[in-house]
Chain A
Amino acid sequence: MSKITDLNKIVENGDFENVEAAVQSCLDDGIEPMDVLNEGLVEPINQLGEKFANGDIFVPELLIASRAMKQGAAMLKPLIVSEDNPSMGKAVFCTVEGDMHDIGKNLVVMLLESAGFEVEDLGMDISPEAVVEAVQNDESIKIIGMSAMLTTTMYAMQETIEALTEAGLRDRVKIMVGGAPVHEDFANMIGADGFSTNAPTAVDLAEKLIAQ
């Protein structure tokens, strides 16, 4: 399994220039694509994720490793049948209508992707209708994440939840909210399923919501 160990190192170091060659080398040795994916690519990300949660590494270390992991995974995708797909589930994220602050949302999206979620990022200043449309168009979406930076825009989260309810989609998805002025009482008041104060705990929350 030294080829796998080599691949682990390459992913850990975020060495995306050499990741494809290392994946190919594993395949050439006859290692099953699914094992290359899980043991070669995903495992080092899980370990880095744990280190990040403990405050031992910087977030760009995790993100750059994830970038290498994704590049390798893209090579394996055609070789793996869909029922084995290890995706944690699909989420759609946005900064709500009227708000242009997106660094927090972007960070949550990047960390979720590192944790194995498939995330569709709708961007910022996203209307309730656009969120409804995104959910209507994709039945695999299980989580909606909304962010707001201002007290005056955070009520757009409530409007979005109301719009989802009216469209009959509310029960199909879990909704998580966050952003500087958002707090737990507010999240409960507007009928969200969860709230998080920062990006790392948002990943825990998403995992919890998807398991429900």
Chain B
Amino acid sequence: MKHDFPLKLNAVQPLRFLSDDQLREIHSCSLEILQNVGSEVQHEGALEMLRKAGCKVVKKRAYVPANLVEWALKQAPSTVILYDRDGNPVMDISGRNAYFGTGSDCPYLYDWDTGGQHEFTTQDMINGAKICDAMPNIDFLMCLGLMYEYPVTSYEHQFAAMLRNSTKPMVVTAANRESIKNIAEMMAVIRGGMDEAINKPLIILYDEPISPLNHYYESIDKLIYCAENSLPTNYAPAVMMGGTGPMTLSGALCQCLAESLLGLVVHQLANPGAPFIFGGCVTDMDLKCMQPSYASPTSNVAYVVEQEIGRELYHLPTWGMGGATSSKCPDAHALSEATQEAYLSGLTGSNMNHDVGFMNFGRTYSFELLVMMNEVIGQLRQVFKGVDMSPEQLAMDVIKSVGPMGNYLSETHTFNHMKEMWQPDLYDRRDYDKWHDNGATTMEERAAAKVKDIIANYQPKPLTDEQEKGIQAILDAADAKAKEKK
């Protein structure tokens, strides 16, 4: 398939950690878990579907046979195309296209001016969406932080804030069926109808079970809603090794896979062929401080292996990690961990790499880390382009023409290709005196200045009046209903 939009293709040779046989062994263990250990499914409708499809069901425990899993794997499509707010195709979630986006629902925002953190506010959400929109290497948005102002309808308001301030695709979170339905209706407002919203998806739902092997009502209900309406969704287990999963990496992967696959089976039973993004997050819990470590070496290997299984074995679009840290501030620790995560995800060709800008185990968001990671991802993308071996790039003509002892500075060939080199925005490559005379700033300080500049001056493309009216009407109705319930 030829696209009329640029792919974020990883052109270098695939990074492989495991052989096909090893991937199959993990898959095989996860099938054994599904069939013999079982999964707790707290949703009557889903249990009924599973029972009818040949699963043994005892109370809420479902035992899924291997053949049903293999059937589901064959149903789900290998590609999901996402479209921006204006309806242009911008992301091909398949193969080894590596996209990067933020994370969702942090309780706090890092506060550069005080060095502390404050509770995430509605204004922070608006600012964050603007920054994402302005960052060329941030491909999709998640809602960054929580909006405490709206206890019942926060997810709807988060989505509206993103829609109003960015044209990029989004991954949304939702409380339940009603809230994802409200969000889908907002998407229909943007597209001018639900059919068009389904044909040209702007969003993916972020959905997750509770490890170990517990699939609670709301998560399954949202999964089924998305399947029934052909809206793309993921189903991303968060296995914390030593806490909610085994302490060992391959074991944690087996469990994570079993959780993902249970979601896939229910999803495909609800509507065979509905779009599903595969993959979760396996991270070791630091058993001294009892926090999930997010970007530990073990987690990074786990993400790579999951992508390999998703892409090579299952031929599904994949969900991954792309720039989180356990640091409490946007410092060297933060950028080191976030960069390692993004580098491995990009190199392996994981598709939807989220959590860029997450600090403090997903409790504190940092705009400064987001802006620094935009720079890093740009740099990495140059790496992932690989090597162009065309005659023009092999440059034999100009080598012959310059010959020994010359230089290339004034050659047309140099002029024609100089802009292909990656150019930094936040890194300062100037000589010492120029850097010193310009304030001798650190990368973090330049990132903070950039954040302030975007918040003060960046103007995102507004919604049309009609879209704005439609969105506001849905928010008002949802808020009124929430008030009524109270």
A residues sitting closer than 8 Å to B (CB atoms) are 52, 55-60, 100-101, 103, 107, 150-152, 155, 180-183, 185-186, 197-200
Residue of B108, B175, B240, B290 with highest tally of chain A CB at under 10 A? B290
Contact of A55 with B287 in the complex, beta carbons under 8 Å: no
Q: Is the CB of B214 within 8 A of A181?
A: no
User: Do A151 and B291 have beta carbons less than 8 Å apart?
Assistant: no
The residues of B that contact A155 with a CB separation of less than 8 Å are 151
Residue pair B152, A152 in contact (C-beta under 8 Å): yes
B65 within 8 A of A: no
- A-chain residues with CB within 8 Å of residue B288 when the two chains form the complex: 52, 55-59
B210 within 8 A of A: yes
Chain B residues closer than 8 Å to A52, beta-carbon distance: 288
Count how many chain B residues have C-beta atoms less than 8 Å from C-beta atoms of the other chain.
26
Question: Quick check: A59 and B107 within 8 Å, CB to CB?
Answer: no
Complex contact A200–B290 (CB within 8 A): yes
Kindly report which residue of chain A lies nearest to residue B290, judged by CB atoms: A199
With A103-B244, A181-B107 already in contact, the answer to whether A151 and B146 are too (CB < 8 A) is: yes
Question: Are B210 and A100 touching (Cβ within 8 A)?
Answer: yes
Dominant SS among interface residues on chain A? loop
Give the complex CA separation of A164 and B322 in angstroms.
44
A101-B210, A107-B290, A200-B289 given. 16 additional CB < 8 A pairs?
Answer: A52-B288, A59-B287, A59-B290, A100-B42, A103-B244, A107-B243, A151-B105, A151-B146, A151-B151, A155-B151, A181-B105, A183-B108, A185-B119, A186-B148, A198-B291, A200-B290
**Cα of A150 to Cα of B243 in the assembled complex, Å:** 19
Bound together, the chains give a CA A101 to CA B244 distance in angstroms of: 11
CB distance B290 to A198 under 8 Å? yes
Could you tell me if A60 and B154 are in contact, using CB atoms closer than 8 angstroms? no
Please, which residues of chain A bring their CB within 8 A of the CB of B242?
A: 60
19 A-B pairs, CB-CB below 8 angstroms?
A: A52-B288, A55-B288, A55-B289, A56-B288, A57-B288, A58-B287, A59-B288, A100-B214, A152-B152, A152-B176, A155-B151, A181-B146, A182-B107, A183-B107, A185-B119, A198-B289, A198-B290, A198-B291, A199-B290
Residue from the list B108, B154, B216, B290 in contact with A151, Cβ < 8 A:
B154
Closest to B217 in A: A100
- Total A-B contacts with CB atoms under 8 angstroms apart: 54
Q: Are A103 and B175 in contact (CB under 8 A)?
A: no
Interface positions of B from 38 to 72, Cβ below 8 Å from A: 42
Say how far B211's CB is from chain A's closest CB, in angstroms.
8
Chain A residues with Cβ below 8 Å from B240 are: 103
Q: How far is the CA of A187 from the CA of B248 in the complex (A)?
A: 37
Q: B175 to A152, Cβ gap below 8 A?
A: yes
- Least CB distance, A90 to chain B, in whole angstroms: 24
Quick one: which of B225-268 are within 8 Å of A by CB?
A: 240, 242-244
B363 within 8 A of A: yes
On whether A151 and B148 interact (CB within 8 A), knowing A100-B42, A101-B210, A180-B107, the answer reads yes
In the assembled complex, the CB of A63 is this many whole angstroms from the nearest CB of chain B, namely 10
- Contact present for A100 and B154 (CB under 8 Å): no
A residues near B108, Cβ cutoff 8 Å: 183
CA distance A57 to B286 in the complex (A): 11
Q: Determine whether the beta carbon of B243 is less than 8 Å from that of A103.
A: yes
Residue of A nearest to B175 (CB): A152
User: Which residues on B sit within 8 Å (CB–CB) of A60?
Assistant: 242, 287
Q: Which residues of A contact B214 (CB under 8 A)?
A: 100
Q: Which of B240, B362, B363 has the most CB of A within 10 A?
A: B363
Complex Cα–Cα for A197 and B216 (A): 24
Select the residue from A56, A60, A183, A199 with max chain B CB neighbours within 10 A. Answer: A183
- Tell me the chain B residues, 177-212 only, with Cβ under 8 Å from chain A: 210
- Which residue among B108, B240, B287 has the maximum number of chain A CB atoms within 10 Å of its CB? B287
Pick the 9 closest A-B CB pairs, nearest first: A58-B287, A100-B216, A152-B175, A59-B287, A55-B288, A181-B107, A103-B244, A151-B146, A199-B290
Complex contacts, B107 vs chain A, CB 8 Å: 180-183
Known contacts A100-B216, A180-B107, A183-B107; A152 and B290 CB within 8 A of each other: no
* B176: A residues at CB distance < 8 A: 152
The distance from the CB of A190 to the nearest CB of chain B, in whole angstroms, is: 11
Cα distance, A199 to B287, chains bound together (Å): 11
Shortest Cβ distance from residue B125 to the other chain A in the assembled complex, whole angstroms? 13
Residues in B with CB closer than 8 Å to A200 are: 289-290
Q: Given A60-B242, A152-B175, is A183 in contact with B119 using a C-beta cutoff of 8 Å?
A: yes
| Interfacial chain B residues near A55, Cβ < 8 Å | 288-289
Residues from chain A with a CB closer than 8 A to the CB of B363 are 180, 197
A107–B244 alpha-carbon span in the complex (Å): 11
A57 → chain B closest CB, angstroms: 7
Contact B287 A152 (CB under 8 A): no
Per the bound structure, the CA–CA distance linking A180 and B363 in Å amounts to 7
Closest approach, in angstroms, between the C-beta of A192 and any C-beta of chain B? 16
How far, in angstroms, from A177 to B244 measured CA to CA in the complex?
21
Shortest CB–CB separation between residue B126 and chain A, in angstroms?
A: 18
Q: Tell me the complex Cα distance, A183–B364, Å.
A: 12
A152 and B42 contacting across the interface, CB-CB below 8 Å: no
Chain B residues whose C-beta falls within 8 Å of the C-beta of A151 in the assembled complex: 105, 146, 148, 151, 154
B154 touching A152, Cβ below 8 Å: yes
Chain A nearest CB from B205 CB (Å) reads: 15
Distance A83 CA – B434 CA, assembled complex (angstroms): 77
Q: Chain B residues with Cβ under 8 A from A186's Cβ?
A: 148
Residues of chain A with a CB closer than 8 A to B244's CB = 103
Measured CB to CB, the closest approach of chain B to A125, in angstroms, equals 9
Return chain B residues, CB-CB under 8 Å to A181: 105, 107, 146, 148
